Structure 1
Amino acid sequence: MKLAAVIQPEELILQGKNDFTLFDVSAGSKVRYDEQHLDGAFYLDLNTDLADIKDFAVGGRHPLPSFEQFARLLGKYGVTKDTHVIIYDDKNGANAAARFWWMLKSIGHEKVQVLNGGYTAAIKAGFAVTADVPEAKSTTPYPITAWQLPLAAIDEVELAGNSNQYVIIDVRDANRFAGLTEPIDLIAGHIPHAINIPFTENLDAEGAFLASEVLREKYAKALAGYQTENVIVHCGSGVTACHTLLAIDYAGLEIPKLYVGSWSEWSRNNKKMILA
């Protein structure tokens, strides 16, 4: 039976402690992790564990690590093909938790879920917290041969922007999409012909995912008329885009292409863009 992409905090509490491996991937929150985290959670860093950062113009701010790097990382924490991995962050699963989920799904790992509502929701539900760091039981590197989920490179995105057969979804907030503000990258604006569906719209007022049937109706309508292989999702650096890919999977729809480089790569390569 296929696991849902999202697990509820109450379900997590009912899980046997030895039945899953828990990861805290709250970006930039190592200090908080050292002070307090969900009991049993290992910490992963977005920049050093889940990306191989080099030149932002090649792959953007958070390019994927090599297969060898990712395989060693998983082996370090004892993750095998049979491990039930549960992931959380402190951004309602909207940041590195979704990115780690996508990476695991993309190497064919099926037993992976993101904690609905993240760190705050788990504490509210009564999950135990601690400052103790668990001891990892390492194993051999995870066998990885390819990214099995679809990816789009910058050249395909450029072609997609000139074809009515494609749809490019930008999940950044409306002001960044419109070019009214740009807090991270050098240039404000968006890729030509992209549409804006902010990832925050996947969540309710409490920061939890909308019901799967609500998400299904939302994305089935947005993607109507397009083949899945012609749907490209991006953000600023290929991280929060994964939140929308997770939402689409949770909705029971096929996962479309991820443009990892996203705006951080596009805006540094003299590509055509809609500016402020």
Structure 2
Amino acid sequence: MTPLISALQLQEQLADVLLIDCRHDLANPEAGRLAYAEGHLPGAYFLHLDDDLSGLKTGANGRHPLPDPQVLADKLADMGMSRSRRVVAYDAQGGMYAARLWWLLRWLGHDHVQVLDGGMAAWQGALVKDLPKPVVAEFVAELRPALMVGVEEVLANIKLPIFTVVDARSPSRFMGEGETMDPVGGHIPGAINRFFQNNLQEDGRFKSAEVLKAEWQQRLAGFDASHTVQQCGSGVTACHNLLALEVAGLSGARLYAGSWSEWCADAARPVA
């Protein structure tokens, strides 16, 4: 299954998928929920980045820690999720939030998941305000811990490099300039930068697999993508880079879910 689905393909297959609206705005956390109420794709459910796609914050585990896997699995089951059900996630932000759900489902052991390429802007069909009628199913998480690394592994990697850390934040935030989201500016020592927005064309759709592969291989400068760990500010847009790598056919990269917001919460960790 390709990681992306076009709006035309989705329109033809709408009855066969579990559709999930992931729209969000970091500056206005209720914006996605309000937008969903105003109109969403037919049959779509809504999952909120903070409430559903993230777990409890402790002040030391980042701004968007991973959710409890079984809690998320139960929410999905209440929407009709099963092992055989195909999921399509969409947003209105170039896939930056839909990609989070895409990665989370793979982490839960479910590969039948795609992201709507171009999101809401690409959709040419009708929008509805009706809430879908859930058909409760059974979905049990089969966790894949190998898809991620923890903060201690990233810390150890600085002294004895095994993988390359790739930061998905903007170049200015990577350089510690104009940091507004986190209390400390800068990046993890040894990390390189690939802004997640560079995965997209001007129309908000992903670049072709060939272009993405060429750009990523140039950026990695000989490093294998499977030897990379993707991070960002809080583990959200890093998933966009992971999705882009899958589109490019460069599989095997892992996620540092805590990302910069977890890293900089401890003053003892080095900053570049």
| CA distance in structure 2 between the aligned counterparts of 1:160 and 1:132, rounded to whole angstroms | 49
| Aligned residue among 227, 230, 234 for 1:230 | 227
| CA distance in structure 1 between the aligned counterparts of 2:7 and 2:159, rounded to whole angstroms | 43
Report matched runs for 1:160-175 at 5 Å.
Answer: 160-175=157-172
Unaligned runs of 5+ in 1: none
1:162 is displaced (CA, Å) by 2.9
Normalised to the residue count of structure 1, the TM-score between the two structures is 0.91
1:149 is displaced (CA, Å) by 4.8
Paired residues of 1:237 and 1:263 also in contact (CA < 8 A)? yes
Report matched runs for 1:121-136 at 5 Å.
Answer: 121-122=122-123, 126-136=124-134
1:200 is displaced (CA, Å) by 0.4
Q: Does 1:39 align with 2:42?
A: yes
1:244 is displaced (CA, Å) by 0.3
User: How many percent identity over aligned positions?
Assistant: 37
Q: Could you report, residue by residue, the CA deviation over 1:193-220 in whole angstroms, capped at 9, with x for unpaired residues?
A: 1111100000011111000111112223
1:40 is displaced (CA, Å) by 1.3
| CA distance in structure 2 between the aligned counterparts of 1:72 and 1:267, rounded to whole angstroms | 32
Report matched runs for 1:203-222 at 5 Å.
Answer: 203-222=200-219
Residue identity opposite 1:109 in structure 2: H
| CA distance in structure 1 between the aligned counterparts of 2:56 and 2:161, rounded to whole angstroms | 33
- Larger mean CA deviation between 145-154 and 194-203 belongs to 145-154
Paired residues of 2:17 and 2:87 also in contact (CA < 8 A)? yes
Cα distance change on mapping 1:88 and 1:7 into 2, 3 Å: same
- Larger mean CA deviation between 216-225 and 250-259 belongs to 216-225
Q: Does 1:53 align with 2:51?
A: no
Name 2:142's counterpart in structure 1.
Answer: 145
Name 1:5's counterpart in structure 2.
Answer: 3
SS in 2 for 1:86: strand
Report matched runs for 1:1-276 at 5 Å.
Answer: 3-15=1-13, 17-27=14-24, 28=29, 29-58=32-61, 60-94=62-96, 96-122=97-123, 126-140=124-138, 142-228=139-225, 230-270=227-267, 271-274=269-272
Count of residue correspondences:
265
1:190 is displaced (CA, Å) by 0.9
1:224 is displaced (CA, Å) by 4.8
Alpha carbon RMSD of aligned pairs, Å? 1.5
Paired residues of 1:160 and 1:168 also in contact (CA < 8 A)? no
SS in 2 for 1:190: coil
1:106 is displaced (CA, Å) by 1.9
Normalised to the residue count of structure 2, the TM-score between the two structures is 0.93
| CA distance in structure 1 between the aligned counterparts of 2:37 and 2:238, rounded to whole angstroms | 28
